[in-house]
Structure 1
Amino acid sequence: MKRSLVLAGALFVAVMSPGMAHAESAPGCGPVTQIGRTAYIGADAGVQLASVKQFKGCGKNWAYVYVWDVYHNQGNDYRVSAAILTSGGTKGYKKGGNRQREVWSDGTPTLGVCTQAQGHLYDNPEYAAFATTDKRC
């Protein structure tokens, strides 16, 4: 019984942990489905500052970026952007406001082509860290 409570508590903490992205619906669309794996901004430097995901729904692709608590709680100014990449260029680009930790790209009618989601984290005008999800066709 005691072990069950410990496991249930650990599961609750894992599911409810702030800093984890809980995206479920794109703006103006409703429920969407993640396609491909999550990419992480900062992972090349050994830290995870933000998640980048690609979704499909409502006949469109969507990019989504969520800034984790480890970065957001530092209190620094930053902006994030999200976009869908295709062989024809960047689509649906959207940049959030200062310290807006969650950004969705505009939906793009690109389900018939290969796409990737890309997110950028700008902490000053000259520098941006970014991550790109795997290509989905």
Structure 2
Amino acid sequence: MKTGMIAVVLAAFAALLATTGTAQAESAPGCSGTVEIGSTAYVDYGGQHIASVKQFKGCGKNWAYVYAWQGFVDSGKGFTLRTAIGAFGSASQQEADRYLGLTIGHHNQRELWSTGTDTLDTCTAAFGAVVIDGADHTPDNHTSIRC
């Protein structure tokens, strides 16, 4: 009986840990009701995904989010994340007209939210970049454009 109870407690604790990590990526700072919109994009470096980029809406705003993957963090390379919302004139436009809510993280900060932007009536995409210490280029990417 005691062994069964321990198994139940451990299973509940494992479930709590699994959901805790996910919930953080669902809530922008100061806005607990965000929902992901558009497709997730991936930042690649050296043939590997090193970060994810997502766009969220909530609290009357758009938000960009970038998250450095554990494998990249474990590589020991120093990095700085950057993220912003790109505003487009249309979904077929190739380049953003402007970038809003630009946020630059602290050195080796693993996840980063942009500031919220008042762009729900605009075509937008979330942009994310990983500035790698000593690298000759800055890998970046953006989500699909949402109008």
Q: TM-score range by the shorter chain?
A: 0.7 to 0.9
Q: CA deviation at 1:73?
A: 1.0
* 2:110 equivalent to 1:101: yes
Q: Do the aligned residues in 2 keep the contact of 1:20 with 1:68 (CA within 8 Å)? A: no
**Which sits farther off after the overlay, 123-132 or 110-119?**
123-132
**CA spacing shift, 1:53–1:136, aligned 2, 3 Å:** same
Which of these residues, 125, 128, 147, is aligned with residue 119 of structure 1?
Answer: 128
Matched residue, 1:29: 31
* Residues 2-31 of structure 1: per-residue CA shift (max 9 Å, x gap): xxxxxxx9xx89x94xx9895120001112
Matched residue, 1:132: 142
Q: Do the aligned residues in 1 keep the contact of 2:42 with 2:52 (CA within 8 Å)? A: yes
Asked which structure has the greater CA Rg, the reply is 2
Q: TM-score, normalised by structure 2?
A: 0.75
Q: Percent identity?
A: 44
**Which sits farther off after the overlay, 20-29 or 48-57?**
20-29
Secondary structure at the residue paired with 1:70?
Answer: helix
Instruction: Give the unaligned 5+ runs of structure 2.
Output: 1-10, 89-96
Instruction: For 1:71, give the aligned amino acid.
Output: F
Q: Do the aligned residues in 1 keep the contact of 2:77 with 2:133 (CA within 8 Å)? A: no
Matched residue, 1:90: 99
Distance 2:24 2:34 in 1: 12
Q: Number of aligned residue pairs: give it.
A: 124
Distance 1:58 1:22 in 2: 16
Instruction: Give the unaligned 5+ runs of structure 1.
Output: 1-8
Instruction: For 1:134, give the aligned amino acid.
Output: S
Instruction: For 2:81, give the aligned amino acid.
Output: V
Distance 1:86 1:131 in 2: 15
Q: CA deviation at 1:105?
A: 0.3
* Residues 37-72 of structure 1: per-residue CA shift (max 9 Å, x gap): 1000007x5411000000000000000000000100
Secondary structure at the residue paired with 1:80?
Answer: strand
RMSD across aligned positions (CA): 2.5
